[in-house]
Every structure is written in structure tokens, then in C-alpha cells.
Amino acid sequence: MACRVAITTSRGPSKITLELVNDFVNSLPGTAKVVRGKKSFTALLEEAVSCGARYIAFIWDRRGMPSALLFYDVGLGGWKPYMLLISGVRTRRDFPVFVARRPRARSAVIVDLAGGELGDIFAEVFHYPLVYDLGAVRGRFDTVVLVRRGEGYVVELLGPDLGPRALSLKIRKVLYRHV
């Protein structure tokens, strides 16, 4: 199985974090789920290398909720210098209408309406095209990753009809750190 990004969690993740990982893997082509369990970091790296991943996306869990998204560059052997602080998750059950799980996506695009660094980060890691016009992508991709302003950023995974495909994330801020 070839993938570009391996997605995993911290140890002992909550149900919401596991649902977040499953929705990411189902909605974002080129991703694979790596079940963490009691695996060491070295074992995670070996599994990511065996599937051909360039990055590992870690979703950290704190007090039963996803709290941060970090990226490890497998090729360079180091952490990316940013951490996305998650302040809220809206799952498919939280939407006012029923959102059924759709088939695994084969194509995706990032639409950055916020004009900030988050669209560039997602384009770098997931290697999807980055556009700035939502109307131009209607019906052309299985998944539209919409980045817009809210309290920080709001990231929505939309279907080809621009209706909800999966979850919605609130990113409080992008924290740059010295690695």
C-alpha cells in the first residue's frame, strides 16, 4: 500500500480522535492509518517507511479531545517547525443533517479562503493543489479541504457537491516552535 502521509494518534486516544483519524483517511487520498497501540516511535517510523510515507501526522489527544496536529518529516528525519492547535472538532454526528460515510476519496484539492499559512502547510504535507476560489472546484474533486477564517481557522472536509463529507476542525492557531 503506497501512501504519502501516515496518520496516527497519541497513545490511548479517545473515540472522537479515532473518528477523526478514520474520517481523514477516508476523505484524504494518499493517506494511511497507522494504529498506534503500544508501538514505539521507531516502530511507527518503520511502518511509515514500509508504506512509502513522506510524513507522519500525529493527532495528540488531551482530556478526551484532539488537541494538536504535528507533522514528522520521514525523509529529513525531523519534526516540522509548526504545530496546529486544535480547539474543536465537529463530527458527522454533530451536523444538523445526516452525513453518510462516502466511498474513499481518489482526488482532493485545498481551497484557502483564509489567505493564511494553514493552506500552505496542508499543500506542503498532503501535496494537493491549492486554489483560492471555491466555485472553481465544484464537482471536480472527491474531497474539498476548505480552509476559512473563524476563531483562528476552520477546516472543513467537503464532498464534490460542496456539502459536508466528513468532519470540521477548529484550529486555534499555528504555533511555530524551535525544533
Residue type for position 148:
R
* Nearest CA among 127, 125, 170, 172 for reference residue 146: 170
- Element containing residue 109 per DSSP (H, E): strand 108-112
Q: Would you say the pTM of this structure is higher than 0.95?
A: no
pLDDT at 100: 72
**Contact yes or no for 92/101 (Cβ under 8 A):** yes
| pLDDT tens digit sequence for 26-60 | 999 999 999 888 888 899 999 999 999 999 999 99
pLDDT at 156: 94
pLDDT at 4 over 90: yes
* Nearest CA among 174, 177, 178 for reference residue 87: 174
pLDDT at 10: 86
Residues 6 or more apart from 63 whose CB is under 8 A from it? Answer: none
Residues 4-18, mean pLDDT to the nearest whole number: 91
Confidence of residue 82 (pLDDT cuts 50, 70, 90): very high
Residues 135-159, mean pLDDT to the nearest whole number: 93
Residues 72-78, mean pLDDT to the nearest whole number: 92
Q: Residues for the chain: how many in total?
A: 179
Domains annotated on the chain, with CATH: 5-176 (3.40.50.10480)
CA dihedral sign, ordered 118, 120, 121, 127: positive
